[in-house]
Amino acid sequence: MPTLPANWKLHFGALFAGQAVSLFGSGLVQFALVWYLTQTTGSATVLATATLAATLPGIVLGPPAGVLVDRWNRRWVMFAADGLVALATLALAYLFWVGVAQPWHVYVIMFIRSAGQTFQSPALQASTSLMVPREHLARVAGFNQMLQGGLGILAPPIGALLLALLPLQGVLAIDFITALVGLSPLLFVRIPQPAAVASAERGSFGGELRAGLRYVAVWPGMLLLLSMALVLNLLFTPASALLPLLVRNHFGGGAPQLAALESTFGIGVIAGSLLLGVWGGFKRRIFTSLLGLVGLGLGFFLIGAAPANAFWFAVAAMGLAAVMQPITNGPLMAILQATVAPEMQGRVFALVGAGATAMTPLGLLLAGPAADWLGVQFWFLLSGAVCVVMALGAFFMPALLNIERHAPTAAPAANTAASETASAAG
């Protein structure tokens, strides 16, 4: 690990604050576009297709993006990725302004925004482990969960309010402005780079990609975790995509009810993050994550089981699922940031992200027609039940329970990068 400057909190705090503002704008856009598609089409298949467009870049571009994040200056990777997202949003705002926007335009822009995120996310995650002392990584992961929860509380109701006051292009323009705010800290923040990025001697692109694959392949616990994530994302991502139709078709609600559910999720995430911060979790982080996964699955199952005249029950179940999300995800992120070799983190985070979502397209292709035929609540019942059974079964998998103890300690021999880091601001 690099020697961090005394003012590391200033640099990371500026980066974190800029990204928080940008994520708030993204939350507004996400809510506005999903409700636009729900209102104009009322089709589960359309919502599933939109989610598919936003998911494919992470699967297709994830592995090569990870290699490039480890080779390129991570600050400029984040700058270029955020800039691409801002321009895509501006283009969609123009299409709505001139009155020619169609659902397929939304698909395209969602695809482009996701492609930018595929580069930005591993670059930010890998940079965090070099900007923050190891003993504070779990705390930062908790702050990130709290940020997501806070945005989940604020973005939906503000998005619903803005849709009542502004045309859709006005909401998109706000996101463009917040994206510019998020870009600003990247112009002056010092972001350390691994020695592999600073070195003139690198392996071939294919060789470095294979090195990342080997790093994950020799880690049995990670392979099991990815296998679980494949199944869960097959089910959970479509369930989340279909939430607007559950509100409209099953509960007979509108944008305020959808905002209430999403805000409840945000409140629950903050509550779960505070609970994790006070409790600290089990000594073996994976136990904490599996416990959270049981509660997450139970929450989704109860959402699907809620009667049509008991919207309050669905809100309570959403709160349970939300509390359990940071308890599931926070320890897992801390495991990766603390154990993966710094020069491999871009590749590992990208591969984990791509692997975790690889089955999502199939799930979306199945969920849309299934929800139109069997009802949206069916998919919530199915995903929740499978999640609970899988999480309980994981307690009997030694390789997964020992994921931290058996992590690779360095990059594979084929990768000549040193694990020490050089402080290159770029």
What pLDDT, in 10s, does the model give residues 166-213?
888 888 888 888 888 888 888 887 777 766 544 444 567 777 778 878
pLDDT at 351 over 50: yes
pTM attached to this predicted model: 0.64
**Taking Cα atoms as reference points, which of 111, 134, 3, 4 lies closest to residue 59?**
111
Burial class (CB in 10 A: 0-12, 13-18, 19+), 224: middle
What pLDDT, in 10s, does the model give residues 74-129?
888 888 888 888 898 899 999 989 888 888 888 888 898 888 888 888 888 777 77
Quickly list DSSP for 184-251: GGGGT----EEHHHH-S----HHHHHHHHHHHHHT-HHHHHHHHHHHHHHHHHHHHHHTHHHIIIIIS
Q: Which position has the higher pLDDT, 344 or 181?
A: 181
Token pair of 6, please? Answer: 């005394």
Provide the pLDDT for residue 414. Answer: 43
Distance from the Cα of residue 389 to its chain's centroid: 23
Provide the pLDDT for residue 206. Answer: 74
Provide the pLDDT for residue 18. Answer: 85
Q: For strand 193-194 and strand 421-422, is the pairing parallel, antiparallel, or unpaired?
A: antiparallel
Provide the pLDDT for residue 203. Answer: 62
pLDDT at 2 over 80: no
Provide the pLDDT for residue 409. Answer: 63
Domains of the chain: 8-198+205-410 (1.20.1250.20)
